[in-house]
Amino acid sequence: MKTRRNLTLGLFACLFLLGSCTDNEFADQKAGSSIATKAVANTDVVLHWDKEEQNIDGFGVAQAGWADYLYAHRKRDTVLDLMFGKDGLHLNILRGEVYSHYWKKEGDTSFYLDEEIDMPLDDPFFDIDYSADGNEAAEEMAQRKGQLWINQRVKALYDVDKFVYSVWSPPAYMKSNGSDSKGNLKSAYYQEYADYLSAFCDAYGSVGLKPYAISPANEPEYAASWSSCLWLPGTTTLGRFIVNNMGPTFASKQPDVKIIFGENAQWTGILGFIMGSKNYVRDILNLNTRITNYPIIAAGHGYVDPVTKKDPAIEPFTKAESKNVPVWLTEISDPHNSYSTSIEDGLNWAVKFHRYLCEANVSSIIWWAGALPDSGTNEGLIYIAKNRTDYETGKRYETFGNFTRYIPVGSRRISAEYNTDQGYMVSGYKNGNSFTAVAINTNDTEKTLDLLINNTQTTGPIVGHLTDATHKWATLDTIQPVNNTYVVTLPAKSVVTFTGNVE
């Protein structure tokens, strides 16, 4: 959701009220079909080593349209370390943008890689309030420079292995209304647009930033007032574009770059003509069968219904799963509620991360946005002040870390069995001979549980990492197993990640 500094979603027409639970309805947030509702053998939680679910491609943040303010921040290196460093979230995915303002007229070819990006932080350019009226040219320049500087910095310093880029709008001259807001891509420009995306891959690849994946259409069914483009319906516009233009072009010129499609604002069906990502992806797969000839990722965004403030159903993309297409949650945040750094906010998000992993079977979760200068909503994991010095993290940052820091890239989720009525939830992951279990206790009292690793043999103790109101990833005493079972205690209102090994 790129709000262009306007942090409220417009109301959609043709209301159709869906949704399952609000951020605060812990009691209604049940585990999905991949998690049983009854424990076995009088054991509270059973992790089934032999029942594998989706592969975990990793966790990340988008910086995209907020690259300018992070680029200008005097503690930008500290903030980057908080997101990507081993002592921070240790993220492996960074989502950027293919800006519409790269090419403004026919014949443009530059992606501005020759712009000076290593300017001293006392340069007056950094004192500009990029979002203020009249500063649009400076904003565009700061976004281009900022994204390039941030991405190169992250590439040089951290273990980021996936740079992905989405398009909010193609260049305005390619569109029906000549604007980077609303409108649609003219069919006469389909091939030129595919060539444009390929050229971007070449340009960024030339400076060591070869994209892992490109999404040609961010939130394709939402005519936003900020940078946007309509692809309606996706079956005869976006699907056709990928099958006939982008797919063949990338197969020839960018064979290693994956194509992301979907990315609607809501995960499942919601308001009238606006469909959620699940059905958008389903219809494109049904009516454009050749799309699976290309390396694709089905994606969605996880925003609440802007009217009811409720989540649409968090469900698997069954059509994509039937085609063995990985599913990513490429954007999620909270643009509606007042800014919070509380443990309640952190627990709300831990529950939601769990549900997307275990109910929607996503392989990746990407937060919008990593760092941004807004303390009015909860869109950022990290608040960076416009004074260019102050910053703040909260409990949603920390509970996200209980997933991102301890679930290795390439892990497989394994089925977990437990009673979902007890106010806690557990997810399990294996990677070689190691395993991770993320346990969330939403109760006001601590819970002591038996945790069994089934159908394998443990080799020693597990260690827990606790986040609650007063702790952040605090290392707990090790716990020895008895007959592959660990007795674990979850403090009240906490997230505890356990790590261990099997034979």
453's enclosing H/E stretch is strand 447-454
User: What are the structural domain ranges in the chain?
Assistant: 45-52+414-501, 58-408
Q: What is the dihedral of CA 497, 368, 333, 353, to 10 degrees?
A: -30
Fold of 45-52+414-501: Immunoglobulin-like (2.60.40)
Fold of 58-408: TIM Barrel (3.20.20)
Indicate whether 14 pLDDT > 80.
Answer: no
Do β-strands 296-301 and 434-441 pair in parallel, antiparallel, or remain unpaired? unpaired
Q: What is the CA radius of gyration of the chain?
A: 22
45-52+414-501 and 58-408 in the same fold: no
pLDDT in the model for residue 443: 98
C-alpha 122 chain-centroid distance: 33
pLDDT in the model for residue 272: 52
Please report, as a single letter, which amino acid is at residue 259: I
Give phi and psi for 415, each to the nearest 5.
-65, 140
- Mean pLDDT, the chain, rounded, equals 92
pLDDT in the model for residue 42: 83
pLDDT in the model for residue 3: 52
Give the residue, 36 or 188, on which the prediction is more confident: 188
Indicate whether 16 pLDDT > 60.
Answer: no
Residue 394: CA atoms inside 13 Å, Cβ hemisphere, count?
Answer: 24
Give the C-alpha separation, 161 to 178, whole Å.
36
Q: Mean pLDDT across the stretch 177-185?
A: 97
pLDDT in the model for residue 309: 80
Q: Mean pLDDT across the stretch 270-291?
A: 87
pLDDT in the model for residue 270: 63
What is the pTM for the complete model shown?
Answer: 0.93
Q: Are 227 and 139 in contact (CB under 8 A)?
A: no
pLDDT in the model for residue 269: 76
- Both structure tokens of 60: 């990340």
213's enclosing H/E stretch is strand 213-215
Indicate whether 49 pLDDT > 80.
Answer: yes
| 23 — pLDDT class (breaks 50, 70, 90) | very low
| 271 — pLDDT class (breaks 50, 70, 90) | low
% of residues, the chain, pLDDT over 90: 87
Give the C-alpha separation, 98 to 199, whole Å.
11
Indicate whether 98 pLDDT > 70.
Answer: yes
Do β-strands 474-475 and 371-372 pair in parallel, antiparallel, or remain unpaired? unpaired
Give the C-alpha separation, 144 to 417, whole Å.
47
- DSSP annotation of 245 reads I
**E strands, 13-137, where?**
45-55, 58-62, 93-97
- Both structure tokens of 191: 């091939």
Indicate whether 331 pLDDT > 50.
Answer: yes
| 33 — pLDDT class (breaks 50, 70, 90) | very low
For 362-389, what is each residue's pLDDT tens digit? Answer: 999 999 999 999 999 999 999 999 999 9
| 2 — pLDDT class (breaks 50, 70, 90) | low
Give burial (CB, 10 Å; 0-12/13-18/19+) of 231. buried
Indicate whether 31 pLDDT > 90.
Answer: no
| 311 — pLDDT class (breaks 50, 70, 90) | confident
- Both structure tokens of 113: 């890689």
Q: Mean pLDDT across the stretch 178-204?
A: 98
pLDDT in the model for residue 35: 42
Please report, as a single letter, which amino acid is at residue 103: W
Distant-in-sequence contacts of 153-158, Cβ < 8 A, 24+ apart: 153/77, 153/80, 154/80, 154/84, 154/94, 155/208, 155/209, 157/80, 157/84, 157/85, 158/80, 158/84, 158/85, 158/91
Indicate whether 338 pLDDT > 60.
Answer: yes
Nearest one of 24, 196, 206 to 102, comparing CA atoms: 196
| Ranges 293-307, 382-396, 434-448: which has the least confidence | 293-307
pLDDT in the model for residue 5: 42
**Angle in degrees, CA 257, 263, 266, rounded to 5:** 160
Length of the chain: 503
| Ranges 15-24, 143-152, 418-427: which has the least confidence | 15-24
Whole-Å CA distances, 402 to 87, 287, 383? 12, 40, 20
First to last CA, the chain: 44
